[in-house]
Amino acid sequence: MEEKKVMSYEDKLKELDSQFGDWWKHGFDVPEMTANLYPYEKMFSPIRINNLTVKNRLVMAPMGNICMAEETGRPNDKMIKYFEERAKGGVGLITSGLIPVSFGIDKSLYELGDLSYFPRIDRSRTVYAGWRDLAAKVHAHGAHFFVQLTPGLGRVGNPQCLVNSLQFPRSSSFNPNWYMKDVPCLRLSDKSLKKIIKNVGQGSADAKGLNLDGVYLHGHEGYLLEQMTNPAFNRRVMGKYADYERFGIDMIKEIRRRVGKDYPIMYRIDLSLMLNVTYKEKMKTVSPLKKFKDERTPEETLTYMKNLVEAGVDMFDVDLGCYDNWWLPHPPSSMPAGCYLDIAEIVKKYFAANGIKTNKGLEVPVVAVGKLGYPDLAEKALRDDKCDMVMLGRPLLADPDWCNKAYAGKVEDIRPCIGCQEACINEFVEGGHPQCAVNPRTSYEDEFSQEIPKADKSKKVAVIGGGPAGITAASVLLQRGHKVDLYEKSTRLGGNLIAGSIAKIKYEIKNYLKFLEKTVEELEKNSNFKLLLGTEGSLETLKQGGYDVIITATGTSPVRPGSIEGINGENVVAAIDLLQNPSLAEGKKKIVVIGGGVVGAETAYWLTFEYDKEVKVVEMDKYIMNHTCTANRGHIIHYLEEAGVELLNCTKLVKIVGNKVVVSQNKHKNVPNPYNTWAPILPENVENPMDLLRKIKDESVERELDADLVVLAMGVRSSNKLFFDCVANNVAPEVYNVGDSFKGAKIFEATRSAYRKARSI
């Protein structure tokens, strides 16, 4: 019999990288919220971690509690209620977001005025009471809590310390800052590093003293702990920490010394940064990637993990990637569900094959992470022995009751995360705190009770528009005790989500759409609710309806600038129409997409990977997919590049003549590389002073692009006419406008405004 060749770890990573673009062709399922494996016996079985027994196999992932604590760092009501709600929702183990303990050493941690946007544990009594309250409230619901301690941010921290306090950021070696490549990080001294180790030990002892149940080290994604423990970033040639394992091992030993042998220590690690696998030849030529080419190999990671266990680690969770390929540690909607199950399995098998046990003589639990919010998928991963526990991050932001609903088999009731990262990651990148696009209560649990209170007076309300905003408003209004008519002029609920759920990479939107349809099915059981599908809520109808309140949630319409020659030609179609009727692209090979925002780029992706078209994308902005989470943007752009899609930024549409698209493309040397996925686009209010030296001059040249079909994705405008007409005509005593028809076009803004408004009526 022919012997089956065992794939090397490196080849496995290469295989995953080659599959993550069109994963649905490579055996990854397009998952749905099914309960085929119910009851979830494995998921709801206990597990031991050191001396702690956790009631089930579900772990809430660390998600930075940025701006959720007081400026002293003390956890406040917002943060405590947020965690309590997840504990109440049935998860066995909760982890905090990253909690730095290197203030004063990592210069990027302080804001102006020595304020902190992180919760802190290193401030002694000023912050202790918050943590004790948190522990007590989480424990009351049977959940345990680990605090994620981080030695710092290093090169991935905010470089504004340079301006705020004339301090350079710090890192393991002279690494460029991730946000601004021109800002170098200074090398941390051995003395500072020893101080950080002491601080982590103290933070751990404090965590134990505060009744928290374990500590969790933030060793992945290229943060400072990884900068010290990965030769990609640690290029020190002298001193104790030139050995890249040393910092991590010493830290674990110090924690053990401070907390004793029975207290759980968990460590978060990536099996590989995946930089070489992701960027291939670019690792030799592109600055700063070429600095990082000597990354830790998977074999070296596994050896390091073995040594960490010997030093005292009880448990790991494992993923892939770092900031410079951010779609890996933060897999967006377009990535496959369960993307890192094979990575967890590699670690599990390695521990088993090498007989590696914790110092307590237990097997080392391996936690899998990455888009596991589908109960069948999670249960199968546990049953197949791919992992010992399943970590849920965003799924618990979207639905804090995920675990209870899975336990009860009410899987269809789970509100699915859509992977957008609009409200969780992007919100804090832009200056806010994590929230959720599909769950308007996330991070507002202190303000909004779970039960929606009844209104003093029942009103007759018309909601116009059956998209996410309209459905959210209708559902809340009904719970308030009002009578609700929901008008939707088309014959299907969903609004823009219908076109937005067509592509394979939009499977999570499809699941959300199903969830919304189910929500309306439930509403229909209430005699106070009327669904008027295929019915336009016209001014006349509304006038005659005798409503107390009108809420318009009428969405958006696509922009088509009529002044451009040829824009209404036969071979020109709006992206939204093409998505719903792909036959319009039949027989057309060369396609030019006008507009490189999210809709344009995702439509290009769909046409390339599902229909094998030759696509070019034209965008007048400096960046493709501007104002999109770096991780979501990175995944799409990286694989568009791999597929040979030409992206033309700083390029304007001039006219369309027959099957030629005439564009004016700026060729100036400072036009950014549209395929740059290793650096973020800074928020608009953050100025990179170096950009002043890199002004883009106009060196536009005209170009003709062949196009059998032109697809327009030039943005949308709010459809707000009905709202203003209702106001002008005094159609009802109260008239409100929510969602995209107020300000487009994000699910986050739609559900948030609809929920808040409806709760106030």
Please state, in angstroms and rounded to a whole number, the distance separating the CA atoms of residues 40 and 35: 9
Give the nearest distance from C-beta 422 to ligand SF4 in angstroms. Answer: 5
Pairing of strands 186-187, 170-171: parallel
Of 86, 236, 256, 330, which one interacts with ligand FMN (CB under 6 A)? 330
Min CB(738)–ligand SF4 separation in Å = 18
Q: How far is the CB of 334 from ligand SF4 (least distance, A)?
A: 12
**433 binds, options ligand SF4, ligand FMN, none, Cβ within 5 to 8 A by partner type:** none
Comparison of 424 and 712: residue with beta carbon closer to ligand FMN:
424
Region binding ligand FMN by CB under 6 A among candidate stretches 60-68, 274-282, 297-305, 747-755: 60-68
In the complex, the smallest distance separating the C-beta of residue 661 from ligand FMN, rounded to whole angstroms, is: 38
Asked if 696 and 580 count as a contact pair (C-beta separation under 8 A), the reply is no
Q: Which residue has the tokens 């266990």?
A: 309
* Sign (positive or negative) of CA dihedral 686, 687, 691, 696: positive
Residue from 12, 371, 635, 757 touching ligand FMN (CB under 6 A): that is: 371
Per the CB < 8 A criterion, the answer to whether 591 and 585 are in contact is yes
Q: Which is nearer to ligand SF4, 137 or 394 (CB)?
A: 394
Which residue number, 105 or 436, has a Cβ lying nearer to ligand FMN? 436
Q: Residue with CB nearest ligand FMN?
A: 393
Can you tell me which of 169, 184, 375, 393 binds ligand FMN, judged by CB under 6 A? 393
Residue 248 is a binding residue for ligand FMN (CB under 6 A): no
Task: State whether residue 669 is helix, strand or coil.
Answer: coil
* DSSP string covering 582-607: GGGGTT--EEEEE--SHHHHHHHHHH
What's the farthest any 2 CA atoms get from each other in the chain?
Answer: 83
Report which of 495, 525, 489 is spatially closest to residue 512, judged by C-alpha positions: 495
Q: Is 57 in the site for ligand FMN (CB under 6 A)?
A: no
User: Binds 438, which of ligand FMN, ligand SF4, none (CB < 5 to 8 A, cut-off by type)?
Assistant: ligand SF4
Of residues 438 and 601, the one with the C-beta less far from ligand SF4:
438
**Rounded Cα distance, 636 and 605, in Å:** 7
Tally of helices (H runs) and strands (E runs) in the chain: 24, 27
Indicate whether 752 belongs to the interface with ligand FMN (CB under 6 A).
no
Contact 643, 619 (CB under 8 A): no
Indicate which single residue of 369, 553, 640, 754 sits in contact with ligand FMN (rule: CB under 6 A). 369
746 binds ligand FMN (CB under 6 A): no
- Written in H, E and C, the secondary structure of 686-710 is CCCHHHHHHCCCCCEEEEEEECCEE
Q: Which residues bind ligand SF4 (CB under 6 A)?
A: 394, 397-398, 417-424, 436-438
Closest by Cα among 430, 447, 410 to 82: 447
> With CB under 6 A as the contact rule, which of the stretches 62-70, 122-130, 353-361, 379-387 interacts with ligand FMN?
62-70
User: Minimal distance in Å, beta carbon 432 to ligand FMN?
Assistant: 11
Half-sphere exposure of 685 (CA within 13 A, CB side): 3
Does the protein bind ligand FMN through residue 366 (CB under 6 A)? no
Nearest CA-CA partner of 200 in 116, 102, 316: 102
* Contact partner at residue 61 from ligand SF4, ligand FMN, none, CB < 5 to 8 Å by partner kind: ligand FMN
The option from ligand FMN, ligand SF4, none interacting with 369 (CB < 5 to 8 A, set by class) reads: ligand FMN
Among 73, 75, 370, 600, binds ligand FMN (CB under 6 A): 370
Bridge partners for 717 per DSSP: 557
- The CA distance from 148 to 98, in Å, is 5
Q: Among residues 636, 646, 635, which one has the least CA distance to residue 613? A: 646
Residues lying near ligand FMN in the complex (CB under 6 A) are found at 61-64, 97-98, 148, 218, 268, 319, 330-331, 369-372, 392-395, 424-425, 434
